[in-house]
Amino acid sequence: MIEIRDLRKSFDGRTDILKDINITIKKGEIVAILGSSGTGKSTLLRCLNYLTKPTNGSIRIGTTSIDAKKHTKKDIMELRSHSAMVFQNYNLFKNKTAMENIIEALICINKKSKKDAQRIGLQLLEKVGMLDRKDFYPSKLSGGQQQRIGIARALAVEPEVLLFDEPTSALDPELVGEVLSTIQKVAQEGATMVLVTHEIMFARKIATRILFMAEGTIVADGTPEEILDFPKDERLKRFLDYNVN
């Protein structure tokens, strides 16, 4: 489903944020990316839909392959059509209601009629438990509610891959649960997901595979048990000591 080859990213041309990343992710895998802040987790995720343009390397999602050195705007659009992202800060459209946020892409991109789009919108609102807030603007919703709308908006385009960029990091602790259970619900439906998170317990619960990043490279790659219960890498051991105990 996803194939990343020799991916490198440097923002200033001197220091590499990502160094020679090679990963293959199969359909239906739920991959959690762990690591300390500043190790390139979010950058890697954002390269997958070219919100951050890599410096080198190629990315393939589904049927679209794109090379950092030579690509067109159309290639980027095509790459993005295979995935959808849930952001740390929700990034909902502030001038649109919960419902309008969800169906925006359906109307704009998929050219669905308003009626069809709203029918899909209602199903998604129900799935994330937000039916009673459908006409609320984001400013009138809590962080957890906004993020659930963010998830519904991502699901609306029926992406082959769902990308989560620290979806609970901006939330108050008491609101984390509702968002995590929504993500879990989506995971159980067999979606392919890549999830950057700090919630190690959650990663253990839903991920089928965990990548641990340090200094711009993937230093450990395995099942949750391999990574969390029998860590081999020194940096991973230190990370887990600090974050779990």
Partner 1 sequence: MFDLSYFFGVFPVIASKLQVTLSLTLTAAIFSIVIGVIIAVIGYYKICFLYPITRFYLSILRGTPLVAQLYFFYYGLARVSEIVLNMKPLTAVALVLSLNTGAFMSESIRGGLLSVDSGQKEAAAMLGMSELQTIKRIVLPQAFRVSLPSLFNDLINLLKATSLAFMLGVRDIMGQAKSEGAQSFRYFEIYLAVMIIYWILVLGFSHFHKIMDRKCMDMY
Residues that bind partner 1 (CB under 8 A): 49, 51, 77, 80-81, 83-85, 87, 89, 91-96, 104-105, 108-109, 137-140, 153, 157
Residue 232, burial from CB neighbour count under 10 angstroms (0-12, 13-18, 19+): exposed
Question: Encoding tokens for residue 244?
Answer: 């779990």
How far apart are CB 196 and partner 1 at their closest, in Å? 15
Is 55 buried (19+), middle (13-18) or exposed (0-12) by CB count in 10 A? middle
For the bound state, the minimum distance from the C-beta of residue 223 to partner 1, rounded and expressed in Å, comes to: 29
Q: Which is nearer to partner 1, 69 or 94 (CB)?
A: 94
For partner 1, the closer CB: 144 or 231: 144
CA 38 to chain CA centroid, Å, is 17
Residues 149, 88: Cα–Cα separation, whole Å:
13
Nearer to partner 1, 116 or 135 (CB): 135
Dihedral sign, Cα of residue 89, residue 95, residue 99, residue 104: negative
**Cβ at position 108, least distance to partner 1 in Å:** 5
In 17-97, which residue ranges form alpha helices assigned H by DSSP? 41-47, 73-80
> Whose Cβ is closer to partner 1: residue 107's or residue 131's?
107
In the bound complex, what is the minimum distance in angstroms from residue 49's beta carbon to partner 1? Answer: 5
